[in-house]
Amino acid sequence: MVATTFAAVVLGATLSPGAVVTPDWRTDYRQAIVVAQTDSKPVAVFIGRGAPAVPAEAAALLANKYVCLTVDTATPEGKELAGKFGMTDGLVISSAGGKVQALRHAGPVPAGELAAYLTKYGDPNRAVVTTETVGAEAAPAAVVPASYAAPVYAPARPVIRTLGGGCPNGRCPNAR
């Protein structure tokens, strides 16, 4: 009887409209990707200082449709991972399974926009063709090795180097 009553109270609390839903926040990126691939869910990565504060509507969407990752830039590990994302504060949402980025939003995300993004990208069957970028930092930086130097002059035709006398291979047809 006690077990049945307890189960009814727990079930009633989860079904009541005023119930608070809390996403399962992860801090391990690799683990989040594995779960996203297994569950075929997108990953929502919140980058910033401390734990993210999300409104109730967004929390429900995150709990039901996303694998949630928080990157705390106040920690050395979080700062390093945020650097790999190329952001110090913002939101990155992947496609289902975490294969590609669907959204990069630099800076704080307004509550209304957050719910709209989570609704838009929460569909596991949504095909991601390009990454939607929002904010100044959102555009992915081009990675160019330091040793790379762009050519100053690139001729349209190859230049033939000559050996002596100004003729190819040193043999000019008009040479006497």
**pLDDT per residue over 17-70, tens digit each?**
566 789 999 999 999 999 999 999 999 999 999 889 899 999 999 999 999 999
pLDDT at 176 over 50: no
The answer to whether 82 and 106 are in contact (CB under 8 A) is no
Q: What is the DSSP letter of 20?
A: P
Q: What is the pTM of this model?
A: 0.67
The answer to whether 56 and 112 are in contact (CB under 8 A) is no
Residue 46 CA to residue 68 CA, distance in Å, equals 8
Tokens linked to 20:
């608070």
Residues 13-25 as b/e (b if ≥16 CB within 10 A, e otherwise) read eeeeeeeeeebee
Q: Where are the domains of the chain?
A: 27-134
CATH class as words, domain 27-134 = alpha beta
